[in-house]
Amino acid sequence: MNERLRLRHETGRQFEILTSDDRLLWRYVYTPDTPAGESPRPYVHPLYSLAGDLLTNFRPNDHPWHHGLSLTLTRVDGTNFWGGPSFRAGEGYRWREDQGTQRHREWGSLAPGRVEETLEWCEAATGRVLLRERRVLLTTLTPGGWSLQWTSELANATDRPLVLDNYHAGGGLAGSHYTGLQFRGARDLLDDHGDGAIGLTAEGGLAGEAAVHGTPARWMEWSCQHDGSLRRTRLRFECPAGPIPWFVRAKNPLAAFAFHREQPQPLAAGAVLRLDHLLTFTQA
């Protein structure tokens, strides 16, 4: 079905994936100009449903370091790749100038259905490369919508073990296990009208933020109704590798593929961490 997609590239800055009839599905900014304190990284925004409804939010006023759809790690050996102030036990959140940067290096492929990119994750103070990433983005049209498969292979680029952690596992801040691929949703994902068909669900019959947040599941869904068009979209987030403890904030709104929760995750020198994600956007 790739012949029904096309790619439009602004060299050195960004590309867009569109349908053959010029409906924009998503834009990928690989050379961002976001502030250093927001842990600059490539991001997807805007991202639309097939019907044309906006699904992502970029630099929202509550957390400007939330950048549409982007891959983040809360900390890599103390470097903050999530963005914003950093938390330390006994000190709380403070701005510390410890935010890292992800830098685009080269394309392996740049085609409408398949994009392959090499990136480097760099330490804040020195620019030293901590991780090298091979990122593959696959776009597929589906019945009533489309899907984005995002696969990242993160290789330890140093000669020593690295510690990947979050503020729950590494700082004692209960519930703060956000990390991984992060989807910051448009305000249309807010659920304020009591309609049972709108809101959060997950594998195993889970429903609502309190049930879904932190509970291991292979998939979760977020159903919403859009202002203006009044159309409905179902957003499905899946982890093909198995259950993960989702990080969800209904009032922001945000969903993150949190691949670990209770304990920091070590990454040995030369080792590779593979993260698989599948997002499907269907008109409900």
Range of the domain at 103: 2-283
- HEC assignment per residue over the chain: CHHHEEEEEECCCEEEEEECCCCEEEEEECCCCCCHHHCCCCEEEEEECCCCCECECECCCCCCCCECEEEECCEECCEECCCCCEEECCCEEECCCCECEEEEEEEEEECCCEEEEEEEEECCCCCCEEEEEEEEEEEEEECCEEEEEEEEEEEECCCCCEEEECCCCCCCCCCCCCCEEEEEECHHHCCCCCCCCCEEEECCCEECHHHHCCCEECEEEEEEECCCCCCEEEEEEECCCCCEECEEECCCCEEECCCCCCCCEEECCCCEEEEEEEEEEEEC
Q: What is the pLDDT of residue 63?
A: 97
Task: Count up the domains in the chain and report the number.
Answer: 1
Please report, in tens digits, the pLDDT of each residue of the chain (284 residues total). Answer: 567 999 999 999 999 999 999 999 999 999 999 999 999 999 999 999 999 999 999 999 999 999 999 999 999 999 999 999 999 988 999 999 999 999 999 999 999 999 999 999 999 889 999 999 999 999 999 999 999 999 999 999 999 999 999 988 888 888 888 899 999 999 999 987 788 889 999 999 999 999 999 999 999 999 999 999 999 999 999 999 999 999 999 999 999 999 998 899 999 999 999 999 999 999 98
Q: What is the pLDDT of residue 261?
A: 86
Domain of residue 105, CATH code: 2.70.98
